[in-house]
Amino acid sequence: MDRRQFLAASAAAPMALAANRPIGANDTVRVAVLGVHGRGRSHYEGFQPLENVEVTAFVDPDLEVANKRAREFESKYGRRVKVVQDMRRVFDDKDIDVVSIATPNHWHALATIWACQAGKDVYVEKPGTHSLAEGRSMIAAAHKYKRIVQHGVQLRSSEAIQEAVQKLREGVIGDVYMGRATIFKWRPRLPDFPNEDPPATLDYNLWVGPGKWRPYSKDHVHYNWHWTWDFGNGEIGNQGVHETDMLQWGLGVQFPTRVAAMGGKYLWRDRRETPEVMTALCEFEREKKYAEIAVRFWCTNTEADDTTNGNLFYGSEGYLAIHGYTRYSVFLGQKRTPGPTGSAPTRHFENFIKAVRSRKVEDQNGPVETAHYSSGLAHIANVAFRRGSMLQFDPDSETFVGDAEANAMLSCRYREGFAVPPPDKV
């Protein structure tokens, strides 16, 4: 079955999902949060206030981090959570229904697959994958084990952004031919840290997990792994996945047929491996659409009103701006006459829990496929940047045409015991 047949079959025959235990409308959904140093805090603060949802465990290879967050949680919510160092103990726990993954990128796919195999539903932070090849394995695991897997692209659950996409489809700006993703984050110079022994509270072997072994350094533990190819994917694979997801959604595209990218480090003399500035150009030949993805750090202008992290869609009659995760504006004609606007909060955690209860993938706003495509577009652009050339891409085989070196960058090498299995082996 080729890619198009696979997707068509999936859409025509939604999975008959069965939960690890029956969860009724009034039953408590019990959640474990994996990775609580940074984004994980937003996960437990998103889940805990929901009706009949209970965060019960924090998982982090650094017990100092996990215990600190547990104390903060107890102070705010009046209840102590279990602290676990090894995520595999949570997968073995039959009292856990959902795992919410906010680990470094290199753990996202394997943790998702292990969770599916253990009968857990999954909320996984963006990017869903660390390499393009991992996406197919995640999709296969979600389907095989009949799990709800939600990708953390919050804008999908804003009624205003949903309205914006509907207006694009209805022709509010005429024929849409182009999109632009803007990824302008304030990122300071990284301090220089030496290699050293990890702290006693950190199981560094678990932290590295599927990634390439590198000596412990505060260069990458706990946040700056984003700027290290072995653990992160740069800004386009960080904040940028929200914008690549919106770009694909708004244009109605998946993977490009031609891509080029340029950029580099022009500002800071530090250990960051990924580019500070990057522009990727993508052609979607089949859909007759074009896209630009712009990354830059530090001082910057805004674009289209106040957009620094968002999207611009261009049509024959005007353009539509997506501002962050919750607001859109339309400007029409040569004089940019203001058109429709909308603003609404995002309820992405609520949407996930709704699907967990209903067992219907069609209830999801950010299903596992979005993790593959939006993360994959960032990966494809990164490969073009690292290769330094215009590349042809075949969306059917999900490989570059005639470039073995580029294709090697679409997958990762894994450490023993931490390999992401191929789709037919999940």
CA angle (270, 383, 115) in 5-degree steps: 90
pLDDT computed for residue 20 by the predictor: 59
% of the chain at pLDDT higher than 90: 93
User: What pLDDT was estimated at residue 83?
Assistant: 98
Q: Is 160-190+221-347+379-408 a CATH 3.30.360.10 domain?
A: yes
Among 10-19, 233-242, 287-296, 317-326, which is the least confidently predicted range? 10-19
Residues 280/381, Cβ–Cβ less than 8 Å: yes
- Give the per-residue pLDDT at 139: 98
Average pLDDT of the chain, as a whole number: 94
pLDDT tier for residue 314 given thresholds of 50, 70 and 90: very high
Residue appearing with tokens 């009103």: 305
Task: Measure the CA–CA gap between 120 and 356, rounded to whole angstroms.
Answer: 10
Q: What are 397-411's pLDDT values in tens digits?
A: 999 999 999 999 999
Proportion of the chain in helix, strand, coil states, percent, rounded to 5: 35, 25, 40
Q: What is the DSSP string of 34-72?
A: E--SSHHHHHHHHHTTSTTEEEEEEE-SBHHHHHHHHHH
pLDDT of residue 180: 98
Share of the chain above pLDDT 70, in %: 94
pLDDT of 15: 36
pLDDT digits (tens, 9 = 90+) for 203-261: 999 999 999 999 999 999 999 999 999 999 999 999 999 999 999 999 999 999 999 99
pLDDT on residue 306: 86
For residue 95, what pLDDT is reported?
A: 96
**Closest to 325 (Cα-Cα) out of 158, 200, 193, 129:** 158
- State the DSSP string of 355-403: HHHHT-GGG-SSBHHHHHHHHHHHHHHHHHHHHTS-EEEETTTTEETT-
| pLDDT tens digit sequence for 62-112 | 999 999 999 999 999 999 999 999 999 999 999 999 999 999 999 999 999
> In this predicted model, what pLDDT tens digit does every residue of 316-332 receive, in sequence order?
999 999 999 999 999 99
Whole-Å CA distances, 340 to 170, 252, 337: 13, 21, 10
Establish whether domains 3-155+349-367 and 160-190+221-347+379-408 are of one fold: no
pLDDT value, residue 11: 35
Domains of the chain by residue range: 3-155+349-367, 160-190+221-347+379-408
Can you give the pLDDT at residue 9?
35
210/190 Cα distance (integer angstroms): 25
CATH number of 3-155+349-367: 3.40.50.720
